[in-house]
Structure 1
């Protein structure tokens, strides 16, 4: 979905595509270009398969939240595409609501709970969808760490403005001053995440750990370099230590 919005579609195609995702109806598929149809059909089919599986345990209500989180990602991508199409640099207050959703992390935090047992309830999903502090901190941290290490490469390929651009324009500072300010906010956001483990929340510890583990992945991939786009030794070794050469359990 990200590549469709960033690299392949025209703005006019994206208007139709976003509307189709909002409708979430296979009857929309004929309105889309062929390459979009492949993705759209797969997206709806995968979610249908998940719903069929978790319905066996009476948990099909969870799919509503998965769909809504995916629709939110599409809306955020479209907002960023609109800024790019118009050559517009938003304020930080305009940028962040869309940019933290476009990380995909609010969606990943949601869909990672679909197959969990009875520890996850409808109230847990409502907590996620009501601007939970730990999720907001995690996704904002992701956005800043991503922008800090990817901005130069993204600009070379004609990408939407990032938090660095928005901060520089809004506050009239240099690029280095913007980087320093965002790096400081990353440190403060880690404090917000840690704070959520020190007091009772509406979500069980297992759910908080899901969000924390997703944040740890960001810290691995984007600390000092874009380890997602350019996978190098550190990331390869970490993956190997977990899945290829794990420490044996005695």
Structure 2
């Protein structure tokens, strides 16, 4: 998330998020060099996992992996827009966005894919919907992370945290 928090300008981040949403390797030519590296690494990471699972279990998990990363980048983009516009989200807006930007749902999805054999379609669909157990755990993770990092992030002018 440092690309969104530290390195990218708002215009670069909008472009980066758009490339991720389209998941188009040809579109990455529009990106600054460091974002090209990040997107290509992300694509290779998701492709490698999907290849391994397809080879071992004959299940294509690439769409779910791609969607998880797209959703994460969109949530990072929301936070970047808040930062650049000076918008102070309500606690509920912040927490609703933050439960995904803290990566909880993505971690659970990746963990399921890495640890399950066989991977079940129903379980993948269940996880994509961010079930309550994942949502609540992610909210706790978000709040705990805020508690540990909020003073440093506020010093650098980041979006206000829940703490």
- Asked if TM exceeds 0.5, the reply is yes
Q: CA deviation at 1:73?
A: 0.7
Q: CA deviation at 1:43?
A: 0.9
In structure 2, runs of 5+ residues without a counterpart are: none
Q: Give secondary structure in 1 for the equivalent of 2:113.
A: coil
TM-score, with structure 1 as normaliser: 0.62
Aligned length in residues:
161
**1:69-101 CA distances to partner (integer Å, 9 max, x unpaired)?**
111110010000000011111112211221110
Q: Give secondary structure in 1 for the equivalent of 2:39.
A: helix
**1:109-153 CA distances to partner (integer Å, 9 max, x unpaired)?**
1111223201x3111111112231110111000011111121111
TM-score, with structure 2 as normaliser: 0.94
Q: Give secondary structure in 1 for the equivalent of 2:112.
A: coil
Q: Which residue of 2 aligns with 1:58?
A: 58
| Structure 1 segment 94-243 matched on structure 2, within 5 A | 94-115=93-114, 116-118=116-118, 120-164=119-163
Decide whether the 8 Å contact of 1:11 with 1:82 is kept in 2.
yes
Decide whether the 8 Å contact of 1:63 with 1:114 is kept in 2.
no
Residues in 2 aligned to 1:131 and 1:48: alpha-carbon distance in whole angstroms: 23
Task: Name the structure where helix makes up a greater proportion of residues.
Answer: 2
- CA 114–131 in structure 1, closer or farther in 2 if over 3 Å, else same: closer
Residues in 2 aligned to 1:130 and 1:33: alpha-carbon distance in whole angstroms: 33
Q: Which has the higher contact order (CA 8 A, sep 6+)?
A: 2
Q: Give secondary structure in 2 for the equivalent of 1:113.
A: helix
Decide whether the 8 Å contact of 1:11 with 1:81 is kept in 2.
yes
Larger radius of gyration: 1
In structure 1, runs of 5+ residues without a counterpart are: 165-250
Decide whether the 8 Å contact of 1:16 with 1:32 is kept in 2.
yes
